């Protein structure tokens, strides 16, 4: 799963985290959000479906996600597919008996959340695990596929070391998912991931990267480390960079190093399309090792964003056209 992080405390929306890119400040503030979550009461039995606004997003979604996974349902009154999907999600949330929480967000009443999440259509579903946004799906999927997604979220939460369960959760089994709330609650944390996060909280990106690389050397398909590593590598590069990267790159289009640095800056600040198109344009102008470096960085960005990010599909096609 992705790095277990959170947004800075306060009422404002964490735009970089919600953009689905990389939230550098979020990782540094993880311990604060986790502490808030530990102090906050868990949802009461029957309170597993909550209406969320821009003002309550921090507490009800980000902070809550350090206790249990939170699924975000973006909907609107005029959306007919939403009227098909939302009742299914609400029923499954109650059936889950506290293994996860459903956060319903009316996009008409909360347009900033829709904009920050770069949502193009509704219904759209995301998951949040320990403060980290996880791409979900768009459209009213059949119930069996919705259950499969929930099952995957619960397993990912367990792998990420999320061991809490909402108050009142019991042994009721999640139908067709094969997972019980108590199973998730008893999943042990991974000390290797805990060590990596400790390094991140200390600002030691080199040590965190080495830790994730060691995990991947032992388990090449480890779902958390495989996504955490490129994010932390980006964090290290951006942290070490100085100001003015975008301006320097705009002034020197042929400077590949400048383009890479500017794209890192744009991606870290949520300007996903700008970062991808900058590197694709540089690929068209380059050759040899420089082109290979640009391609490698784009593939890294695709891994960071995830296959369900709306910018990834078009960017992959543009990259293929630029290369061939």
Compute the residue count for the chain.
Answer: 324
Residue 39, pLDDT score: 54
Instruction: Look at residue 12 in the predicted model and tell me its pLDDT.
Output: 27
Cα separations (Å) of 147 from 37, 85, 94, 258? 26, 12, 13, 45
Nearest 5°: CA angle at 58, between 140 and 272? 65
Q: What is the pLDDT along the chain (324 residues), one digit of tens a residue?
A: 333 333 322 222 333 333 333 343 444 344 445 455 555 555 444 578 999 999 999 889 988 888 889 999 999 999 999 999 999 999 999 998 889 999 999 999 999 998 888 888 999 999 988 878 888 899 999 999 999 999 988 888 887 666 555 443 333 333 333 333 333 333 346 788 888 888 888 888 899 999 999 998 988 878 778 878 888 888 888 888 878 889 999 999 999 999 999 999 898 888 889 999 999 999 999 999 999 999 999 998 988 887 767 888 889 999 998 887
Q: Which of 127, 132, 140 lies closest to 99, judged by CA?
A: 127
Task: Enumerate the domain spans of the chain.
Answer: 15-185, 241-323
pLDDT at 115: 86
Task: Return the pLDDT at 226.
Answer: 81
User: 15-185, superfamily in CATH?
Assistant: Glutaredoxin (3.40.30.10)
Residue 107: closest CA among 132, 133, 79, 87: 79
CB 61 within 8 A of CB 34: no
Query: Catalytic residues, which ones?
Result: 79, 82
């Amino acid at each position: 799963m992705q790095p277990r992080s959170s947004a800075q405390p306060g009422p404002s929306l964490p735009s970089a985290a919600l953009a689905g890119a990389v939230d550098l400040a979020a990782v540094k503030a993880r311990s604060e959000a986790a502490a808030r979550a530990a102090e906050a009461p868990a949802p009461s039995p029957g309170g597993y479906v909550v209406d969320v606004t821009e003002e309550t997003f921090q507490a009800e979604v980000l902070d809550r996600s350090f206790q249990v996974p939170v699924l975000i349902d973006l909907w609107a009154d005029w959306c007919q597919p939403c009227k098909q999907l939302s009742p299914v999600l609400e029923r499954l949330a109650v059936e889950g008996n506290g293994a996860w929480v459903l956060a319903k967000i009316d996009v008409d009443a909360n347009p900033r959340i829709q904009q920050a999440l770069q949502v193009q259509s509704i219904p759209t579903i995301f998951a949040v695990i320990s403060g980290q946004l996880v791409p979900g799906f768009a459209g009213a999927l059949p119930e069996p596929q919705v259950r499969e997604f929930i099952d995957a979220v619960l397993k990912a939460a367990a792998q990420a070391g999320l061991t809490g369960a909402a108050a009142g959760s019991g042994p009721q089994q999640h139908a067709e998912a094969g997972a019980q709330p108590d199973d998730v609650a008893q999943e042990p944390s991974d000390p290797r991931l805990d060590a990596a996060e400790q390094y991140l909280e200390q600002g030691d990106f080199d040590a965190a990267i080495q830790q994730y690389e060691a995990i991947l050397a032992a388990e090449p398909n480890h779902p958390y480390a495989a996504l955490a590593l490129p994010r932390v590598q980006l964090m290290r590069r951006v942290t070490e960079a100085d100001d003015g990267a975008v301006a320097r790159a705009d002034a020197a289009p042929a400077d590949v190093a400048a383009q890479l640095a500017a794209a890192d800056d744009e991606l870290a600040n949520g300007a996903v399309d700008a970062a991808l198109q900058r590197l694709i344009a540089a690929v068209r102008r380059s050759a040899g090792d420089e082109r290979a470096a640009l391609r490698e960085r784009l593939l890294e960005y695709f891994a960071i964003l995830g296959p369900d990010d709306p910018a990834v599909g078009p960017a992959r096609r543009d990259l293929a056209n630029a290369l061939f």
